[in-house]
């Protein structure tokens, strides 16, 4: 297992947002996380990335397992956990190419960056990334001119440039056209062949197309887990989420 969350609880002002939460993610796995508003999906990601500290529980990552609860947010990012927030934060007045180059450089020391030359190797990496996110034709366009979906893909590409081992993605389908959604599922499925990708999403059609194991959160714990068919037939999932 790449990530093991066990018995994690978080209380905000007496309210238990995460309640004895346990789940595991394998190293090349695509996982969807669904659940009603307030189920704890965002808080779960905040805990994994070190933004929120749980009151109890354990989170181990990698092999040998590192205790994430002892690490800072930046240290967690450095060991390969990337997070994509809902709103894209690309540099709009830079080209797609330059955004991707900057993302590649992010891990380098200040000295490396100061003496940075566009090596053939980096150009090749940027081209490969652009192909992976379907933006080859857009490489030299200003990022501000891209559609909402294309900006989201660019941001996914910028995260992939850092080569994360675990990528957390928050509601990628929001605001996308049906065609963009379809392409996004392709990008995420492909990305998850070589790393773990955890996708929080409300759109059930999108989740179905991801065609992966689904974890249903409710009141800060796992309510059900399994294939999309398994969880959508689960009466407790229908009661708290699907049937409403
Ligand atoms: N910093 C905080 N202080 C107080 N309460 C919080 C805080 N963060 C989250 N909560 C509460 O914890 C619960 C879980 O919130 P969380 O945002 O993780 O749910 P979610 O599943 O991501 O919901 P949504 O689908 O609406 O994004 C909610 O009831 C929320 O109000």
pTM attached to this predicted model? 0.93
Low-confidence ranges of the chain (pLDDT < 50): none
Q: Is the CB of 38 under 6 A from ligand 1?
A: yes
Q: What pLDDT score does 87 carry? A: 80
CA gap 25, 166 in Å, rounded? 9
Q: What pLDDT score does 112 carry? A: 60
Q: What pLDDT score does 57 carry? A: 97
Taking the CA of residue 40 as reference, the ligand 1 atom at the shortest distance is 18
What is the domain-level CATH number for residue 12? 3.40.50.300
Q: How many structural domains is the chain composed of?
A: 1
Rounded to the nearest whole angstrom, what is the distance from the C-alpha of residue 15 to the centroid of ligand 1?
A: 10
Q: Which domain holds residue 166?
A: 3-242
Q: What pLDDT score does 119 carry? A: 79
- This complex has an ipTM of 0.94
Q: What pLDDT score does 115 carry? A: 59
Q: What pLDDT score does 108 carry? A: 60
Q: What pLDDT score does 86 carry? A: 81
Q: What pLDDT score does 217 carry? A: 97
Long-range contacts of 237-242 (CB under 8 A, 24+ apart): 240/36, 241/34, 241/35, 241/36, 241/216, 242/204
Rounded to the nearest whole angstrom, what is the distance from the C-alpha of residue 42 to the centroid of ligand 1?
A: 7
User: Which residue minimizes the CA distance to atom 8 of ligand 1?
Assistant: 43
Helix axes 148-160, 96-105, angle to 10 degrees: 30
């Amino acid at each position: 297992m790449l990530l093991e969350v066990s018995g994690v609880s978080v209380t905000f002002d007496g309210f238990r947002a995460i309640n004895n939460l346990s789940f595991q993610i394998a190293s090349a796995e695509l996982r969807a996380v669904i659940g009603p508003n307030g189920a704890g999906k965002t808080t779960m990601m905040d805990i994994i990335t070190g933004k929120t500290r749980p009151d109890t529980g354990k989170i181990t990552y990698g092999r040998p397992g590192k205790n994430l609860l002892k690490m800072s947010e930046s240290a967690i990012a450095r060991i390969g956990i990337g997070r994509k927030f809902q709103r894209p934060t690309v540099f709009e007045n830079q080209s797609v190419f330059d955004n991707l180059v900057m993302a590649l450089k992010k891990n380098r020391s200040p000295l490396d960056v100061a003496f940075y030359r566009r090596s053939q190797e980096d150009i090749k990496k940027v081209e490969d990334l652009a192909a992976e996110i379907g933006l080859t034709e857009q490489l030299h366009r200003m990022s501000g001119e891209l559609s909402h979906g294309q900006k989201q893909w660019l941001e996914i590409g910028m995260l992939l440039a850092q080569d994360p081992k675990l990528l957390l993605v928050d509601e990628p389908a929001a605001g996308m056209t049906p065609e963009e959604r379809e392409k996004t599922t392709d990008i995420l499925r492909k990305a998850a062949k070589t790393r773990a990708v955890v996708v929080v999403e409300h759109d059930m059609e999108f989740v179905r197309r991801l065609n992966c194991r689904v974890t249903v959160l409710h009141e800060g714990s796992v309510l059900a887990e399994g294939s999309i068919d398994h969880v959508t037939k689960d009466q407790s999932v229908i009661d708290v989420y699907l049937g409403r």
